[in-house]
Every structure is written in structure tokens, then in C-alpha cells.
Structure 1
């Protein structure tokens, strides 16, 4: 009893503070969406929901007026998160110059990707390299080089790996996410440097390096540790002291940069020749002559690899997880492939397709698009506000604040996609059997406005080629079918935690 009397004042104060915080949170949450506490803001709710961040923010934005919420509010700035297409269009197009990437975002990635890459540049530098990259992406030479190598990787690497598992008596369990990531590394490094890393096993190109996974591991660690800075408040201190994750990051970046720099120096010494039609070779020879800044070339090629590799591997992993439990969708894909095979007189066992044939895969295109609607490879995207502004819904944002659009939440908005927004329905993208485009401000998977992804078309070419080849020959059996796997944000991408274990069955 004596102890209780001594502790009673402390308990009373604690309970009073708790009630105050709760009442404050409820009062503010009606207008902002997020429960906000004095001094600490939304931090308690963030810690409570960190393991389900995307679903949590989706729930909050769904209940908010105009699907927009305040993340942080101070006297000078408001950090805003939105799932409103009008705000996405305003930020990405209408008032584009006022919403760059910003130093707050790029400072986390600049050590790996430099100041000249697509993901870390703004202003004149961004416009210059955007123009250069856009030109190279649209040349027939580069597109043909791309498709030829995608087909080669599918036929010589991917199908043999899956085929070996299908005929094995031990019925091995494969990690499909790991397989697609390795395939992505092989294709992206081949496209960037005309170098074969052989991450998926074997070699078949003239220009090869040892397939010892050193570069792949270093690149994966470097991108993961760089993006982990966004949730690590002490990363600058650890970087200064060269401790822990920052020490590992520095070592990984050194390995990646030395590898890339060696290729670039060799190419420069040859006057820009020796690579062929890869991205680096085409980048070095521009309309203004040879670009011979090694740092610029490194920044551009590393950004290209990130864009080319991760979108494909992430989207395809989610697609095969979704399709594996939906035989009716597999059947429609097979019927579409059979129709193309008949029209073009393709033999059974031919798993490569031309540009013309790929363009006719409307249902596969819709299936890929619907996958990314529900599970976007890059689920959130942020911009910095340069000057005080008022968004179209009346939200006031101040200088140096951050505006984020949540693509994951947008894919689950009834106001955008209707009452069946949570359903996986490729048919929503088809009109009379033909794929129908949607506004990039409603579907910002490849971003929108001037910063819309330059590699969108070749990304679809790559993914359609892989989906067609794999589903035509194999059935993918997901382990623990029917359960939704836990996902996580890794290197800014929406990946499966622990991979996607599957078994492979030869299609009869």
C-alpha cells in the first residue's frame, strides 16, 4: 500500500499524458488523416505500422478527404502524401519546375549513383542527360540489340534453368524472385556494357567476365544500403565515422565503381569503340561528339542498370504469384499465344517473338499492367517543394516541404478504379480485346510528366517476352498457395520478403 501511494502521483501523471496524447491524436487525425502527437508527430503510429507501411498509408489515404494527408506539419512546411491523380498531375506536369527530386532525396543516393544520373539530377543537368538518353532509347539499333539479347537470355539461360528443375526427380524448390533478379542482372549489364555477368549460370556471349557473383552482390548491397539511409537518422554520423552499414556501403560502392570505371576507361582508350550497340557505346558517341567524362558515363550507366533490372524482376515475381492461383488467366494467355502461333506459322517449341508479334499480345500486356497496378515496383515517389505553393485541393505546402504520391494506395482507390479495385482483373485494361492506355496521373507506375520513364516500352518488351516463353512451356506452382507473402521495400522496390519459393512443372 505504501509503495502504491508513492507511485500514485507518477501513475496519475502518466495516465494524464496518455489521455492528452490520445485526445490530441484524435482531434488532429480528423483533418490530417494520420494520428499526430505533440512533439513526436506521427512517429508512434509509424513505429506501430512500420511492418505494414503501405497498407497502413493506404487505409489512411482512403479515409481522407480528397485522398490527401499531412505527414508532418511545422510553422514553415507541410509534408504531404497523396493518392489523388489531380495532385500527381499538378506536381509532375503543371507545376513541374517547382517539384524537383531535391537534395533531401538525392543526398541518400549520390554516393552510389553520382550527381549526373537520372535519379539524382535536376535542372539543366537532368534536361541534358534526359535528351541524350531519350535519343538513344528510340533508335532501332538499340531496340534490336535489346530484343536479341533478351531472347538469347531466355533461350540459353532462363528456360534451361526452369527446364532442369521441371524434369528433376527431386522436384527442387526454386526462388523465383532470385531467378528473375539474376536474369535482370545479366540482361541489364549486357545492355549497359555488352558484358555478360553470367549470374544465372553459363556463358554464351563473346564479351564475358567471371560469373562469380561479386559484382551482383556488391551492387545489391550498395543499392539496399543506400536506400536504407531514408529510414536511418544516424547514417551521416556513421558515414563520417565509417562504421557499420556505412562502412559496408563504402566497400560495396568501391567494388561497383572500380568494375564500371575499368570498362569505361577501356572504352575511352579505344575511342568509344569496342562495345557495339550497348548503352555505354551509344552514350559515348552523341550528336556533340564523344562524351569522355568517366564520372558522367558511370552515373548514367548505373542509373540505367537500376531502372532496367529492378522493375522487370519485381513486376514478374508478383505476376507469377498472382497468375499461379488463377488457371483461367493462364488459359487466356495460352489462347492468345496459340492465336499468334497460328497467324505467324510458328512451330511448337518456338519461344521467341518479334516486335510485331509482341505488340499483338494484348492480354499479356494487360496482365502485366494489372499486376503493377496492385503491386507497383516503385510504390512511392517523392518531390521537394522549391517555393511556397497551394495544391489543387487547397492543401498549402511550404518551401522545402516534401510531397509524396503513393502509387500502391492509388491502385486501391475506389474513386479511381471502382468498387472492384482490390480485384486482380486484367480485363479492366481491354476494350474489344485491345489494350487501352490509362492516364499516367491515375497510373503513375512509370511516373508521369517530363520525368516519365524512358524505358517503359522496352520494359514491356522484356516482360512480355519472358511471360510468353515461361507460361507457354511451364506451370509455376507457388509454395503455400493462397497465402499473401509478406512484402518489403528493398532498394526502393516492392519485393517479397524471403523470396518466392516455387516448383516447376512441364506444361503438357
Structure 2
């Protein structure tokens, strides 16, 4: 077995060195890229299709042509002995089969968990009964009226007291602002307050670097790196403590240390207040996520242990990643698209004026009627969905079958093989969304009667599909609508002239170089 492992390692290293030569040789590299962009990915001897992926690593849109040309499903071949082969599919019938109708056969799997090991047993990293227990607890906590009240209160407070005054400052100074950085900081702050009860205050004029937030960024970058190189290479880096793997190890240490600090402080707070662990909060009393998990009723979740700080810490990471990265990404792309589609922005503004005439900076949102008000903003809802169709916060989904299977498309797949669903590409498939699939067109979500049109989640995967549908979907939509309404009522946003918006491959689909804009206060606000 040792000789086989050494042979595999040697082949992988040899493959990498060959490809690296082409990467650093500008003449040959340019010739290869030019040739590749004019054709489908080829299956190189030894190297497989890995060069094709790396050449297109920062050219996401180019890869869509390949998927369309292969009838929505094709087999990616990785380097020999690398175990990187994967079935790539955006066929809605296949997606429904994998994520819904045959859900029990398709899991994250041990390889996925190994790649995301820094997050431990986070909900997006688990399968089976543990996942079911986590899912049930997530749903209970997120749907408690007390937590929803807290989330709304924190969001509106941060808007009124921090975000809008900051925008006012930028507007008066004529400062160019990176909205992507602003929204990531804004969502990080409100997520931490709602989850731990502590405010990191990362959003301010000074824009301080926050160690915890930086650790999430570094972890995401390293995990993406693991997806596109042979396991041997990142394992070697980890063993040597080099590059991306060193960064990931440091991020993990930061997660452990800071989560432990939050958990210790919260346990002490609960002890000092003498709160009964079985206290019922269904009456609407506000309670952050950390408090809820420390006081979790273990009789309902036999695999969850609130006395275990490791479990609590990994649960915190799940909530923070979901609350900060996905929502901030969606809002960033939404405003980026608005800067290029003034007609859509005008319709949203008019809808706000028509349905929320009393909603102004001076008016405090009522928790009881807030959701009812926002439900009237159908065109805004459609516009947010349309932004997430084109730029899904999580750009791909990865699965592995327990048993061999045949997909509706006729493709046979082996047990423990890799399946990748590129959600970003799915939103641009003309055969799925029509000839105008690349257009930002919120009207596609509006029914003939003026209501919101339903599209199956196998077509629109922004909130996943089937049993793993995001439990915080409705809360995320309320947060995004609240933020959009306040900003559009008070400010005009203009993209810096000549600035190009393009995606950046990450676990959450960020903008390359951010979203640079100028702000001007609306006189009518």
C-alpha cells in the first residue's frame, strides 16, 4: 500500500509541475488559453481536464458554454489517480432526483467533510441523524417569534444608527465606497449580535480589520483551493504548514479561540441570571442563538449536546456563515444590478412609495406589521430573486451517492462518486430559463395576476432544494427587503464610471474588486 501511495504522489506532483510550467510560461500559457477558449475542454493525458478548470478559474462565464453544449450534463475527468472525476449537471430533472426524490441516496459524504474539516460538524457538513437533529433545532430557533423579533430589532437598529449615518458621511464627503465591504461588515455585525449577543462593530468609518471575519474569508479561500487541486497537493501543503493550508490552520485556531470566548461569556451570563434551562420562549421573548443552544432541551435532540463546547462552537460557525456571507452577497449583487438597470430601480421605488407611504427614516418599524408591509413589495421580491438567479450566493452544490444510480438524463453514476451542480451556470441556461436567461428581468417572476410566480427549486437553487432547503429563507428575505427599502428611500447609488462588475470564484459568490459606488442623499427622503 505504501508503494501505491508513493506512486500516486509522484504522478500527482509530476502532473502539477508540468502544468505549472505552462502557467509561468507566458507564451505557451497564452496559446493554450486561446486555444481552449475556442473549444470544449479536452481530456489531456495524465492531467485530465484540470488545466481547463484552472485556465478558466477567474472566467466563470466561459465555462457555461461547455455545459450548454453538452446537453446540461457532462463528466469531468481529473488527473490520473487524483479521484477528482465528477459528474457536472444543471439538468433540473437530475437536480430534482438528487436533491428531492432520491434524497436519501445523495449525501455530502466523507470527502466533502474532509474538505470542509475546519467547520467540524456544522449543519452543511453533516448527514444522517446528526443532520436531522441539527436541522430540527435550526428550524425551531429560527421560527421562534422571540428570535425573529430580535433579528428585526438588530437589523433596524444597525440601519438607523450605523449604516445610514455612514452613508450620509460618504455622501457629504463624496467618497467612493466599496458596497461589498460595507454589506459584509453590516451582515457580520447583525449576525454576531443575533447569534451571540455581542457586537463586533466591524462597520464604522474606520472599517477596522476584525480577526474573526478575516478567518472566515481565509477559510473560504483555502477550501475553494482544495476543490481545484489534487488532494495530494493540499495534503502535502498541510503537512508542511504552507500556503493556503497554513492559512486554514490559523483560521481554525481563530474559530476555536473566539467561539470559546463567546461560549464562556454566555454560560456565565446565564448562570448569573439564574435562567431556567427549560424556560419556554414561544411567547415572543427575545433570545439569541447561543443562549437558545446552551439551554437546548436535550430530550428532543438525542445527538445534540449543549454541554459540549465543540458542538456549540461548530453550530455558531454554521449560523455566522449563513447569516453573513450569503445575505451580504445577495444584497451586493442586487445593488450592482440596480446600478445598471435604472428602470428596475424606478419600479421598486414606486412600489415602496405606493405600498409604504409612511415608511421613512423617522418611522420605527412595528414588529407586528413589518412582515405584512414587506409582503406587499412583490416587485422588490421578484428583483431579489432575479439577482440571486443570476448570482446565487452559493455558486455550486456538491453531492455523492451512497449507491450507484441512473439519473433521469440517462447518466450512470457510481457509488461514492462526485456530483457537482454549478448553480451559477444553472441560472444562465437558455434551455431552462429561456433565450433571455442572461438578462436581469424581474418580470419573469411576476404572474399574470400581479403576484409572485412560483418556480421549482430544481430550477432556482438559491435557497437549495428538497429536505435541505434553507431554514432561514424567509428570515433572509425579510432582512434583505428591510435593508433595500431603507437605502432606496434615502440614497441614490451610482456605479463609478468605467467600473466593471464581475464575479470572483469563492464559496460565496463575491464581486471581483468589490462594488465601488458613490452615494447621494435623496432630497425627497
| Aligned residue in 2 for 1:150 | 155
Q: Shift of residue 484 of structure 1?
A: 4.1
Determine which of 228, 247, 252 is the counterpart of 1:231: 228
The answer on whether the counterparts of 1:474 and 1:504 sit within 8 Å (CA) in structure 2 is: yes
User: Normalising to structure 1: TM-score of the pair?
Assistant: 0.85
Q: Shift of residue 485 of structure 1?
A: 2.1
Q: Matches of 1:194 and 1:252 in 2, distance apart?
A: 22
Of 87-96 and 408-417, deviating more is 408-417
The answer on whether the counterparts of 2:406 and 2:412 sit within 8 Å (CA) in structure 1 is: yes
| Aligned residue in 2 for 1:369 | 385
Alignment of 1:12-411 (within 5 A): 34-52=41-59, 54-65=60-71, 67-72=72-77, 79-111=86-118, 113-114=119-120, 116-168=121-173, 171-201=174-204, 213-233=210-230, 234-271=233-270, 277-288=287-298, 291-342=306-357, 345-346=358-359, 349-350=362-363, 352=365, 354-411=370-427
| Aligned residue in 2 for 1:473 | 490
The answer on whether the counterparts of 2:394 and 2:508 sit within 8 Å (CA) in structure 1 is: yes
Q: Shift of residue 388 of structure 1?
A: 1.3
| Aligned residue in 2 for 1:485 | 501
| Unaligned 5+ runs, structure 2 | 1-31, 276-285, 300-304
Change beyond 3 A, Cα 1:336–1:470: same
User: Normalising to structure 2: TM-score of the pair?
Assistant: 0.83
Q: Matches of 1:135 and 1:39 in 2, distance apart?
A: 50
Q: Shift of residue 154 of structure 1?
A: 0.8
Alpha-carbon deviations, 1:32-80, whole Å to 9, x = none?
Answer: x64223332212322332221x323311111123x11111289999621
Q: Shift of residue 145 of structure 1?
A: 0.9
| Aligned residue in 1 for 2:435 | 419
Whether 2:474 is the aligned partner of 1:457: answer yes
Q: Matches of 2:168 and 2:467 in 1, distance apart?
A: 43
The answer on whether the counterparts of 1:475 and 1:504 sit within 8 Å (CA) in structure 2 is: yes
Size of the alignment, in residue pairs?
465
Q: Shift of residue 352 of structure 1?
A: 4.4
Q: Residue 180 of structure 1: SS of its match in structure 2? A: helix
Q: Shift of residue 319 of structure 1?
A: 1.1
Q: Matches of 1:227 and 1:59 in 2, distance apart?
A: 22
Change beyond 3 A, Cα 1:78–1:249: closer
Change beyond 3 A, Cα 1:147–1:86: same
Change beyond 3 A, Cα 1:41–1:288: same
Q: Residue 405 of structure 1: SS of its match in structure 2? A: strand
Q: Shift of residue 348 of structure 1?
A: 6.5
Q: Residue 77 of structure 2: SS of its match in structure 1? A: strand
Change beyond 3 A, Cα 1:93–1:347: closer
Q: Matches of 1:406 and 1:339 in 2, distance apart?
A: 38
Alpha-carbon deviations, 1:234-273, whole Å to 9, x = none?
Answer: 2211222223332232223212221111221233345578
Q: Matches of 2:379 and 2:115 in 1, distance apart?
A: 39
Q: Residue 503 of structure 1: SS of its match in structure 2? A: strand
- CA-based RMSD of the aligned residues comes to 2.7
Whether 2:510 is the aligned partner of 1:495: answer yes
